[in-house]
Amino acid sequence: MKISNIKVKNYRNLKTVNIDTNEVVIFIGDNNSGKSNLLRAITLPFLNHEIGAVNKNLGWQDINNDAKNEYYAFIESNLNEIKVGECELDHFIPKIPFVSVEVSFTPQGLAEEYYLRNWISSLETSTPSFTIKYEYAVEDPKDLLSHVSAVLQDTESIESLKMNLLPIEFYKYQTTIPTTNEKVSFTDLAYFKYNALSAERDDFSNKASRLGSKSLVSLLHSKLGTDDKKKVEQSYQMFFNDLKNISSLEEVFNWHESSELENAKDFFEKITLLPNIPTMNSLLNNVKLGYGDDYLNAQGLGYRNLIYLFVMLNSLSIESDVALNILTIEEPEAHLSVSNEHLLASFINSTVGDNNQLQLFISTHSSEFLNKLELKNVAIVAEGSTYALKQDLEDEQLDYLAKKPNLDFLKFLYSRNCILVEGPTEEMLIKSYLSKQTDQLNDIEVISLHKGFRKMLEIWIKVNQNSEHKIGIIRDFDNQPKAQEDHEAYNDYTNIYVATTREYTLEPEFVNTSNNFEKLKTYFTVKHGWKNIDTKEKLSDKWVNAKTDTMLHFCQDIGTNELTDVVLPDLDLRQYLGHK
């Protein structure tokens, strides 16, 4: 069984989210885009098995700012009507901010439908769907409107009263079945468990006397059956009895038994030690995790995190008495070396592939967790919105991305300034030129893509059209004026610039720029031993057909004595990206 769709409204910076999901969902996005908020939102409907740091009762700061601003704008525009009690409740209710998370399931088989039987949401399709909804909303809008009216008396501005106009005590959370509005019972929710591993797990097993992980302690507790807990209590009692019978302790507490003071016994009866049996969590929290003969805190921070994640994943994979185990992981790559990232990614794939009851939601900044053959698992988070590749791209487009062997998807989407070029020679040339510009900082990412720029731009636009990021494209003319027209149509976007060479490819463009021909002719004759390059056409043809090594040496020599005054083709791209 898996969650098949998630809808989120007004949770923190997430205004509206509607994504289809797979067994593994990889959220990628820039910093502060909403990835962590989305992971937290996913757990809200399943809070009867709380292990993470998410709380059922949200706060004022958890309600989306845009939703709150729309509410305040309504109050401001209807100030007088609200003051005198003439504002219609039906007009007021739609403006009240709320938070909701709706989770839909698609079971596989009747056995899984058993757990969902009370959550039916649709029978119209051949495969029935089941849905539950967490909502944090004002319980009585009429009371809130009366409260707002009272607060607004004797005031002309709401700027200093915003929290009083939306008091959090009017809110209440509940988890319901949307079609019937019936509350979801804790009995039904008990079969759906979650673990939330935040990025702030740096102190895992770093304490000298305890595990240091609430998640792991609670997990160990959940693994103890009734018989196991009896054994723990009996073992503690044996330890206590042995402790109590130590003669030196007896002398400390019952000192009056052997005191030289004749009447000491008259004042005190037998003083005894009684067991103060701690809670099971307290007992487990004083267990120390080890690695070999050493405590785990003796290992490096990255290795501790690696072991922690392996233990958590494995423990969830062997738990069979649940309908669905949901695990959210923030930045699994934190503190890991490249090889350990690869190891963890491989373990995640094998764990989920072998377990029908485990579903993973991961946020990451590492391309190691983006399997190009499984890009359908990737969801892009940008400015509080989401784009699931399986929803927003056709199969043909996903296949196109998968076949790009050198494409770093994260660099392509999230570089502040990105240049796409057609091949490795152009990539080397531009990178070499940029490296020689030592009088300015460089934040330009150069990516060789060969073809398919338009498909890539459609993806890039979804993520970056409202950002300040810029992308430039250098493409060959290739005697294709229609293709040039189609590509350069993207110049209508303010943050996209497409430049096409005037010549067939970049090499003849280079030869024909300024006074480059004589300098290049001398360079290639002396440095590479080329002959019969006495015309621009011959030099261009020779260069186009040369091996990549030739361009590599050329790039290494730019700025040296041989190529001091060579001028780059003027395609206006540097000015566009803000570099002189």
Rounded to whole angstroms, how far apart are CA atoms 435 and 558? 10
In sequence order, the 6+-apart residues with CB closer than 8 A to the CB of 171 are: 58, 136, 137, 138, 139
Looking at the DSSP bridge assignments, the partners of residue 470 are 417
- Which tokens go with 436? 């020689």
Tens of pLDDT, residues 343-387 = 998 888 888 877 888 999 999 998 888 876 588 899 999 888 888
- Which tokens go with 380? 């892009």
Among candidate residues 344, 279, 277, the one with its CA nearest the CA of residue 308 = 344
In sequence order, the 6+-apart residues with CB closer than 8 A to the CB of 404 are: 372, 449, 452
- Which tokens go with 118? 């009370």
Reported as type and span, the H/E element at residue 216 is helix 214-223
Report pLDDT for 575: 47
Cβ(501)–Cβ(569) below 8 Å:
yes
Report pLDDT for 139: 95
Cβ(491)–Cβ(497) below 8 Å:
yes
Report pLDDT for 457: 85
Cβ(419)–Cβ(446) below 8 Å:
yes
Among candidate residues 134, 139, 140, 141, the one with its CA nearest the CA of residue 174 = 134
Q: Give the gyration radius of the chain's Cα atoms.
A: 33
Alpha helix (H) residue ranges in 331-488: 338-353, 389-392, 395-402, 409-414, 424-435, 453-464, 481-488
Report pLDDT for 579: 41
Report pLDDT for 420: 87
Rounded to whole angstroms, how far apart are CA atoms 463 and 414? 9
Cβ(473)–Cβ(499) below 8 Å:
yes
Dihedral sign from CA coordinates of 477, 413, 432, 556: negative
Dihedral sign from CA coordinates of 418, 424, 426, 428: positive
> What dihedral do alpha carbons 536, 538, 541, 542 form, nearest 10°?
-110
Report pLDDT for 76: 94
Report pLDDT for 409: 79
Reported as type and span, the H/E element at residue 556 is helix 548-557
CA–centroid distance for 129 within its chain: 27
Tens of pLDDT, residues 78-121 = 999 999 999 999 999 999 999 999 999 988 888 888 899 889 88
Q: What percent of the chain has pLDDT over 90?
A: 31
Residue whose pair of structure tokens reads 């300015």 in the numeric block? 440
Dihedral sign from CA coordinates of 296, 302, 303, 306: positive
Q: What is the DSSP string of 411-443?
A: HHHH-SEEEEESSHHHHHHHHHHHHT-TTS---
pTM comes to: 0.78
- Which tokens go with 434? 């940029």
**Beta strand extents in 119-229 (DSSP E only):** 120-122, 129-138, 171-177, 182-183, 192-197
Rounded to whole angstroms, how far apart are CA atoms 130 and 123? 9
Report pLDDT for 207: 52
pLDDT tens digits for the chain (580 residues)? 899 999 999 999 999 999 999 999 999 988 888 999 999 999 999 876 444 444 578 999 999 999 999 999 999 999 999 999 999 999 999 999 999 999 999 888 888 888 998 898 866 666 678 999 999 999 999 999 999 999 999 888 898 899 999 999 999 999 999 988 999 988 888 889 888 888 877 665 555 444 455 666 766 777 778 888 888 888 888 887 787 777 666 666 666 666 766 676 776 676 666 667 777 777 777 766 677 777 777 778 888 888 888 888 887 777 667 889 999 999 999 889 989 999 998 888 888 877 888 999 999 998 888 876 588 899 999 888 888 888 887 788 788 777 765 567 788 888 888 888 887 778 888 887 777 766 667 788 888 876 777 878 888 888 887 788 889 888 888 889 998 999 989 999 988 988 888 888 878 888 988 888 998 999 899 888 999 999 999 999 998 888 778 877 888 787 677 777 787 776 655 444 444 3
